[in-house]
Structure 1
Amino acid sequence: MTTSPGLRGLAAAAVVLLCAVFAPGRAAAAGQQLTLGSDVGQVLVDPVPCAVQGFQLQFGNAGSAAVYADAFIDAPAPLTVSRSLVSSYLPPGYTLKVEIDVSAPRTTPPGDYTISVHAGDQQLSLPVHVNAAPINDTGNLVRYMQVSASSENLPNYPACGAVDGDRTSAKWGAGGGWNDATKGSFPDWLQVTFDEPTTVGRVDLYTLDSAKYPAAGYGLSAWDVELLTDGSWQTVAQVRDNTAAEAASAFTPQTATALRVVTLASNEGPTYSRVAELEAYAS
């Protein structure tokens, strides 16, 4: 079977059109009208872990044909963004809205910065102002430090909720405490990493305790306290058979770069690890 030159030309044109429209990562094609915007004119950043801050990227297609397109987000060091690339299929007239988190370490110099976003021939420059880091005058060594966990039952029970300065269980289930995401599986761990080597001599743990969920029925019953010293984890305290809302573990002060609580059991049985607040002190 033969194909006429006219049909071959139409087929070739169709292939070119499909490549231009559906090939991700390509530069802006002729007639393509990408748009970039933000829901705020300036991003305000507090240089502390767990701060919820950023902007909504509005990535649109004002053209008459659907496209696959990429938007690249660049943040100057030491700022970081939750994602550096947004790649999406954009129907004509459609605007994709994506939340971009912006964070900065506590040592970030306060002042003005600029986040750049580009897509095709479009460019967005978004001003960022970093506030001065808050002063920690509580004596609590883990306040405003980086926190992580073996797992997090998100979005309601983040690790950040265990170092937010609230010892109570009033905000339990609303971001005010950490709950792991591996039901019935122990051990779990909650870790705080210090900005610099820090001397620690006491760790206080506040487990879940409320009228509806008392510590004796739902709180942690057993855990180990460990410090990262000279590159290795050392167990400095152990708690067993706990039924109280708070348990303080005092030990010979040691200089560490991180501390963690390794949870071993709950008063509810083999269910979850629940920490309302974790605090540490020099003595």
Structure 2
Amino acid sequence: MSSSVLYDLPGPRARLRNRILGALTLVVVAALFAFVIWRFIDTGQFSAAKWNVFTFSAIWVRFGEATLATLAAFAAAAVGALVLGFVLAIGRLSDHAWVRLPVSWIVEILRAVPVLVFMLLLYYGLPVIGIRMSSYWAVVIALIAYNGSVLSEVIRAGVEALPRGQREAGYAIGLRKSNVMRLVLFPQAIRAMMPVIIAQLVVTLKDTALGFIITYPELLYFARLLGSNGEYGSPLVQAALIASIIYVAMCLALSYVAYVVEKRTRRSPKVTAVAAANLPVQEGTDTELLVTQRGDDKTGRGGA
């Protein structure tokens, strides 16, 4: 039996060279980090006067309100993007050209236009034609349009990556195409593409920060507002650091929720049954006996 590798194993010189390069990289990164910290100290960014404003409870209340505004926009945008992604994915997977082609153009256009341009058009462009929209809905609709188009491609790629036998097996037992998509293809595609979907939702969460440009009172907007306040010494760096910590905490919480959902999905009895049904059936194996027993139980023909 022949075996193939993607690359040759490094020899003694290559291992030594890699260790030297790794050590140099660590030294450079540590030096850059130390330089940034030193500049912060030298410019007084860690002085008590710069952090004094964060001893007021009212500031933390405002941070909490800004965080809730960020989560409110994200929640609506995430749900809307998932719904739009499924709708557009179904359209792109359609067998009818009069449905598939227009939907494909819509997806490409929505993916090509930046989120910030969407927000500016909705908030500043629509009033020109007599339509006014709040900053909240401008942020939410822009995020839904962009991330929904991206998620549609993720879902479509997940469906098309499944083995063709999955689709044919559904048709063989008499399912219509809608039922094949809903019962067979979509559940497997979503489980397979779950990490990519969660990554796109994290991008959606971070893109809510663009709302500060159209004066939506989210987390970055308040951090910028606080940082530009000369009465408190313009603590821009400090406010940005706290806002960054809150963003990181929200993204980690979202990733943990996705991990829990994926873990529970893998333990689901339905997933186990699907995995057992997809096992190759070989003559004389326990799998063949199990499938035969299932067929006998369903038809009532099981014999002694």
TM over 0.5, yes or no?
A: no
Choose between structure 1 and 2: higher strand proportion.
1
Task: Please tell me whether Structure 1 or Structure 2 has the larger radius of gyration of its CA atoms.
Answer: 2
Choose between structure 1 and 2: higher helix proportion.
2
Task: Answer 1 or 2: higher relative contact order, Cα 8 Å, separation at least 6.
Answer: 2
Query: Under TM normalisation by the shorter chain, which class is it?
Result: under 0.3
